[in-house]
Amino acid sequence: MALHEYECPACGGAMEFNPKTQKIKCPFCDSEFDVKDYVANHNSDSAGEAADDYMTNPAAGEEDNSQPMYIYRCGSCSGEILATESLGSMKCPFCSNNVVVKEKFTGRFTPDYIIPFTKTREDAIEAYKGYVKSKKLLPKVFFDQNHIDEIKGIYVPFWLFNATQNYRGSFDATKVRTWSDSNYNYTETSYFDVVRVGSERFERVPVDGSKEMPDDLMESLEPFDQSKMVPFNMGYLAGFLANKYNVEASENRDRAINRMHSSTVSDFRNTITGYSSLRAREEQCTTSDESNKYALYPVYILNTSWNGNNYLFAMNGQSGKFVGNLPFSLSRALAYYFPIAGAIAAIAFVLFSLFA
Ligand SMILES: [Zn+2]
Ligand SMILES: [Zn+2]
């Protein structure tokens, strides 16, 4: 496997994609290039060489859910870089060289599009700090600077589905009117046959194509502004992690179509208003004109394991929207509430003494 490196043409340093300027920049001599120009002019394909593919063996009796691991040899320091099968862009842990395994983003793995990072790692760290600060009862490990430094920018593979949903629904509806005079109460019920027929076109409904990423977490990071999506270029990966897809489009298709279905059904139902009652007689939604594309989306991630559970903080690398599930620590809760409880008890005691 060929490794692709991002050597600075001026000083030989490892170049990185800069989310602020949207250019590829050398942190050592500040040389800056347009992503397109750089990759076209300074492609250093042969600089690295992958070592033999290497697979980890699960311990006896243990189920192996892990991916096979690969070892690559860094082209600039010869150090060994260990990576999962799907990881295609990473940093050499010894010399901080940024490398991309070309095979992970070429051939059938070539992304059609990429949304480049626009938020920096510093933005993500700041968002994380603000978030944990607002949660006083978190275990200490979540505040450790060493731990916070583990926040990583990663391009996550997404399948984007296009399809038309053709809706047809018929309903029995009623309108009820009541009034009274001095002798009687009146109720008038009118019956209606309500029909809705139409179609809705969906473009680029994203579903994440990575086994490692929880689907619901990725959905909660939406929306991504797809108008800022650009044709894929490896230059955007420099300095970031990136996974190739390991869930096929066909496996993700139903999840996307179901999302389209439910939003079509609710859109059409929302046009039926003003009735006292509504009952669906027949309702169907069929799919046509389907196609899909493959794209990489920018996400910052911080993974924490605590008390045997995994906790995830994630931020949309384009909009800055973040989500997380963080635990509640009983010992910190007690430490936090006890002094207050103690103070209240003391005040109560003083008051009691005063009035006794
Ligand atoms: Zn340089
Ligand atoms: Zn290296």
Q: What is the pLDDT of residues 87-144, one digit of tens each?
A: 999 988 888 888 888 889 999 999 999 999 999 999 999 999 888 887 777 788 888 8
pLDDT computed for residue 258 by the predictor: 95
State in Å: Cα 25 to ligand 1 middle: 8
Asked if residue 275 is part of any domain, the answer here is yes
Query: What proportion of the chain, given as a percentage, has pLDDT over 70?
Result: 83
Asked if residue 179 is part of any domain, the answer here is yes
Asked if residue 232 is part of any domain, the answer here is yes
Say whether pLDDT at 327 is over 90.
no
Say whether pLDDT at 207 is over 60.
yes
Do residue 314 and residue 194 come from a single domain? yes
Report field, pTM of the whole predicted structure over 0.85: no
Asked if residue 123 is part of any domain, the answer here is no
Do residue 309 and residue 289 come from a single domain? yes
Do residue 52 and residue 42 come from a single domain? yes
The helix or strand, by DSSP H or E, that contains position 219, with its residue range, turns out to be helix 215-220
**Comparing 16 with 57, which gets the higher pLDDT?**
16
Do residues 163 and 292 make contact, with C-beta atoms less than 8 angstroms apart?
no
Asked if residue 147 is part of any domain, the answer here is no
Ligand 2 ion local residues (Cβ < 5 A): 74, 77, 79, 92, 94-95, 97
State in Å: Cα 99 to ligand 2 middle: 9
**Comparing 27 with 54, which gets the higher pLDDT?**
27
Do residue 257 and residue 335 come from a single domain? no
Residue where a domain terminates, one of 80, 110, 140: 110
Least confident piece of the model among 65-79, 177-191, 259-273: 65-79
Do residue 171 and residue 314 come from a single domain? yes
Do residue 105 and residue 250 come from a single domain? no
State in Å: Cα 73 to ligand 2 middle: 8
What pLDDT band is residue 53 in, cutting at 50, 70 and 90?
Answer: very low
For residues 60-74, average pLDDT: 65
Asked if residue 142 is part of any domain, the answer here is no
Question: What is the rounded distance in angstroms from the CA atom of residue 261 to the CA atom of residue 166?
Answer: 9
Do residue 304 and residue 344 come from a single domain? no
Asked if residue 211 is part of any domain, the answer here is yes
Do residue 171 and residue 316 come from a single domain? yes
Averaged confidence pLDDT in the chain: 84
Tally of domains in the chain? 3
| DSSP state for residue 236 in the 8-state scheme | G
Do residue 92 and residue 169 come from a single domain? no
Asked if residue 29 is part of any domain, the answer here is yes
| Burial label, 118 (beta-carbon count in 10 A; 0-12, 13-18, 19+) | middle
State in Å: Cα 238 to ligand 2 middle: 14
Residue where a domain terminates, one of 110, 140, 163: 110
Do residue 302 and residue 162 come from a single domain? yes
Question: What is the rounded distance in angstroms from the CA atom of residue 309 to the CA atom of residue 293?
Answer: 35
State in Å: Cα 42 to ligand 1 middle: 13
Task: Find the ligand nearest to 76 CA.
Answer: 2
Instruction: Report the greatest alpha carbon distance in the chain.
Output: 99
The strand ranges marked E within 67-212 are 69-73, 80-84, 87-91, 98-101, 113-114, 152-180, 185-208
| Domain assignment of residue 337, given as a range | 326-356
State in Å: Cα 100 to ligand 1 middle: 19
State in Å: Cα 251 to ligand 2 middle: 37
Do residue 290 and residue 342 come from a single domain? no
State in Å: Cα 14 to ligand 1 middle: 7
Do residue 160 and residue 290 come from a single domain? yes
* Other C-beta atoms lying within 10 Å of the C-beta of residue 296: 29
pLDDT computed for residue 9 by the predictor: 86
pLDDT computed for residue 67 by the predictor: 64
